[in-house]
Chains A and B, each alone.
Chain A
């Protein structure tokens, strides 16, 4: 039995031959006993296979959403909330960063700019006689604390310029003495510069924080309610 005849018999069994091929094969089957016997064998094998008992599935193979990794459908507003939350969070950190670090950067850059400080020195020197005058009056009259404290940052801000520093030290010493005379701890005040006002109003920082927190909360609520509705 060659391969070609075997394929012909198998196809004939399944009705896959053309009418002319079928007629030709049937003629051969009538005269060739072995061919007919092989056809019977193939038919018997096919019948056995077709009569194999059909097993029922041992369980239902229906899928759950978890199996296929589906997430619950979220409301259409959800992406807007998410966007607003992300933007508010970024803005909050930006304003926080600006208000925290920008004044320090300004101070550092001012310290590093010796030349610039020196150019400002004449203007500062012009103020010195005024301050000196105020200091000379101090023992007699009380030196206003505001003037002392307002001068303090100037004294600390001008160290590179020797002239200006010398000029600045003079009134400060005197002011300090005046302060001591008045019973105040004046040197401590002079060492602590006043806290500068934030560059971005803190109300904005608070607003961004509130929007971010509200956004996160709303997103959590929406997700939970969607999941509950889905169940």
Chain B
């Protein structure tokens, strides 16, 4: 895939060229939205909005990392979605599982201090990590999702969210520290090789 040629074609209004880029980046965009929003449906909507917005404003792309530019678009779409949620909160009291059953102990109610019995309810490491991500401040969450989950380097993250490199370093360090503290509550769920107990005990 010649990304630069596709971008140039898309900038001249070629929708097929842009759709080729969409197919290449849609998983990354969706995963970023999913980790920021913590909900698949909302993440899918935000991803679609992000691609529409990206096509409409692709003429403003002046080179550099296209992925970083795309990530900025998706984070903006996620922020819009979160603002919308704030205005019209629709969180169910008892969220459903994938099977449609009500969760007795939904992950969003879990906290690092919950009992071992409650911890057992969070049966997936992924849910535990998502829970911890959801409790991070939005700025920290965005940086940690881009750097640690999407594997972007500091420069790309700085370009994506338009903050200085020093701020990225600071936010990332503090986000990792908070995640470490949060994951302490899920220590029993984590794979043995990634247990944090020893480090946290000190």
Contacts and interface: CB of A to CB of B under 8 A. Distances in A.
Tell whether A pairs with B.
yes
A57 B169 contact: no
Given A55-B34, A57-B30, A62-B22, A45 B169 contact: no
Given A45-B180, A60-B23, A50 B148 contact: yes
Interface residues of B, number: 49
Nearest to A13: B176
Contacts of B147: 14
A61 B27 CA distance: 10
A63 B154 contact: no
Nearest to A38: B199
Interface string B158-202: 000000000001101110110110010000001000111011101
Interface in B128-176: 129, 144, 147-149, 151, 153-154, 169-170, 172-174, 176
A43 to B, nearest CB: 9
Interface string A47-68: 1111011111111111101011
A70 B35 CA distance: 32
Interface of B: 13, 15, 18-19, 22-23, 26-27, 29-31, 34-35, 40, 44, 47-48, 51-52, 55-56, 125-126, 129, 144, 147-149, 151, 153-154, 169-170, 172-174, 176-177, 179-180, 183, 190, 194-196, 198-200, 202
28 contacts: A3-B170, A3-B173, A3-B174, A6-B174, A7-B170, A10-B176, A14-B147, A14-B154, A33-B202, A42-B180, A44-B194, A44-B196, A44-B199, A45-B183, A46-B176, A47-B194, A49-B129, A50-B151, A57-B26, A57-B29, A58-B40, A60-B23, A61-B22, A61-B26, A61-B47, A63-B18, A67-B52, A68-B56
